[in-house]
């Protein structure tokens, strides 16, 4: 005899009720463990650390457990919530209340609270996010794409190895390897150091594939995830795990962060290379082993689509260069000499057009709305600030990169111009892209295929934007 409908409804409601109670409990437990870990590292009372961790885990479970659908999504949301909590309380409300009003030295106060930022990210956001992400993956509330372990390990491992190879040959000079900078001086042969470098790169790549296989879609978004994951590994590896491996005390001070700031830029660039490599290898894996649909072909050939995206990106980049040019001139990034201003501005427009082409190739089909497009544009502008004036420009002019805090501080005025450039470029590209694809939506079959290309609402993309932009902009200011 089959169950009656009321009995089935009661059983389903009981399961939902059990899950609703389980998620806060998971958050409480993970927060308590993280709080207990943070207490000795921050030299605070044990009870205070556990209380802060419990409150963090409880609030995160209540407000973000539905978003933590996988360990990777949970990690990104947990880190974003940890950054938001730090900005609101240790770096915001608490200093203002202690001083009786807004302080003129809020940057100094925030710098003094840098150890709390590391603790919030590593001890609170990471365990709570990953724990609830694992719970969400084991108890999904909606259908999710199938996870393939072989695809994650092979694609991630190859991407990490390729990233380590390009990264070491491109930026490693002498015996300096940014992925190992937090360890300190390595008393080992160069072969051993290279093996350790590739071991770390391989591990980061494999874990990247295991965490974010369901979240990354195109090359641009994969670069964004790589950037955020690179910053996370700077906090976890350079400031935490490597000093432990070297049997040195953990130092989460801003001075120590400034001392290894060069490795932060290295991690960001490695994350970008990892993202592009993973997107490429993962796409080949899908085409070879998963996709097989010869009937539902594209309306146009891939080459035509690529050329059209390059043209849209060039036009959008030119528009972004026009808008950001006056800002670059006002901040002194472009020459103010009358005889050189026109040349500098023309060169600026040319480079902006070329960079716009890369946006068209990397970020097509990423934005579901104009707001999402602007967010990806900001991230694109931040990426080029780290890759352009901080890395490629000095490398081309002098043959060396200067990743010091002094160099980053001197280039901070250009960051605003890059962010504005990215936003305008993304906005113009999305307008051009939508004008072309509007007629495609008249065919239901094509409309369904186009809808599958666009990132759906509810993914960790908003948390990624907040985390990557927040830390990518904040850290050069805070440590400079």
CA distance 422 to 317: 8
User: Mean of the pLDDT values across residues 73-83?
Assistant: 96
Per-residue tokens: 372: 């999402």
Is 0.85 topped by the overall pTM?
yes
Interval 256-299: pLDDT, tens: 999 999 889 989 999 999 999 999 998 888 777 765 544 445 55
Three state DSSP letters for 67-108: CCCCHHHHHHHHHHHHHHHHHHHHHHHHHHHHHCCCCCCHHH
Higher model confidence: residue 14 or residue 44?
Answer: 44
Interval 337-369: pLDDT, tens: 555 677 888 888 999 999 999 999 998 878 777
Is pLDDT of 188 > 80? no
pLDDT given at position 346: 87
Per-residue tokens: 379: 């991230």
Higher model confidence: residue 334 or residue 329?
Answer: 329
Interval 194-237: pLDDT, tens: 888 888 899 999 999 999 988 887 888 899 999 999 999 999 99
Instruction: Please return the burial class of 89, using the count of CB atoms within 10 Å of its CB with bins 0-12, 13-18 and 19+.
Output: middle
Residues 6+ apart with CB under 8 A from 287: none
pLDDT given at position 371: 83
């Amino acid at each position: 005899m089959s169950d009656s409908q009321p009995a089935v409804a009661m059983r389903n409601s009981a399961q939902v009720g059990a899950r609703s109670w389980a998620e806060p409990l998971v958050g409480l437990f993970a927060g308590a463990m993280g709080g207990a870990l943070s207490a000795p590292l921050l030299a605070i009372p044990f009870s205070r650390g556990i209380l802060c961790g419990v409150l963090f885990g409880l609030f995160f479970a209540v407000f973000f457990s539905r978003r933590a659908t996988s360990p990777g999504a949970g990690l990104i949301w947990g880190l974003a919530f940890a950054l938001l909590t730090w900005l609101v309380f240790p770096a915001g409300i608490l200093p203002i209340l202690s001083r009786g009003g807004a302080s003129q030295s809020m940057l100094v106060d925030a710098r003094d609270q840098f150890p709390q930022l590391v603790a919030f990210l590593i001890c609170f956001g990471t365990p709570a996010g990953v724990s609830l992400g694992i719970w969400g993956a084991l108890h999904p509330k909606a259908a999710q794409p199938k996870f393939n372990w072989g695809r994650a390990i092979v694609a991630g491992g190859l991407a990490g190895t390729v990233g380590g190879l390009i990264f070491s040959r491109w930026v490693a000079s002498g015996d300096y390897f940014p992925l190992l900078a937090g360890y300190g001086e390595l008393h080992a042969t160069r072969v051993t150091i290279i093996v350790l470098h590739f071991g770390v790169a391989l591990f980061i790549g494999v874990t990247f594939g295991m965490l974010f296989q369901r979240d990354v879609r195109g090359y641009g978004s994969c670069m964004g995830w790589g950037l955020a994951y690179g910053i996370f590994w700077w906090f976890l590896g350079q400031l935490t795990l490597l000093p432990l491996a070297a049997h040195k005390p953990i130092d989460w001070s801003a001075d120590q962060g400034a001392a290894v700031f060069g490795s932060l830029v290295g991690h960001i660039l490695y994350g970008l290379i990892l993202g592009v490599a993973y997107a490429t290898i993962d796409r080949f894996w899908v085409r070879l082993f998963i996709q097989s649909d010869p009937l539902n072909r594209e309306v146009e050939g891939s080459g035509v689509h690529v050329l059209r995206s390059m043209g849209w990106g060039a036009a959008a980049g030119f528009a972004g260069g026009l808008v950001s040019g006056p800002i670059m001139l006002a901040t002194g990034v472009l020459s103010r000499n009358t005889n050189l201003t026109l040349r500098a501005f023309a060169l600026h427009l040319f480079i902006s057009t070329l960079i716009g082409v890369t946006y068209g190739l990397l970020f097509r089909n990423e934005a579901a709305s104009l707001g999402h497009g602007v967010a990806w544009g900001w991230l694109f502008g931040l990426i080029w600030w780290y890759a352009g004036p901080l890395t490629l420009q000095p490398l081309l002019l002098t043959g060396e990169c200067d990743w010091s805090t002094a160099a980053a501080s001197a280039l901070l005025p250009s960051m605003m111009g890059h962010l504005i450039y990215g936003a305008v470029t993304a906005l113009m590209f999305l307008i051009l892209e939508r004008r072309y694809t509007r007629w495609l939506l008249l065919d239901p079959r094509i409309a369904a295929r186009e809808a599958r290309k666009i990132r759906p609402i509810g993914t960790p993309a908003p948390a990624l934007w907040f985390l990557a932009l927040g830390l990518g902009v904040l850290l050069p200011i805070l440590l400079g």
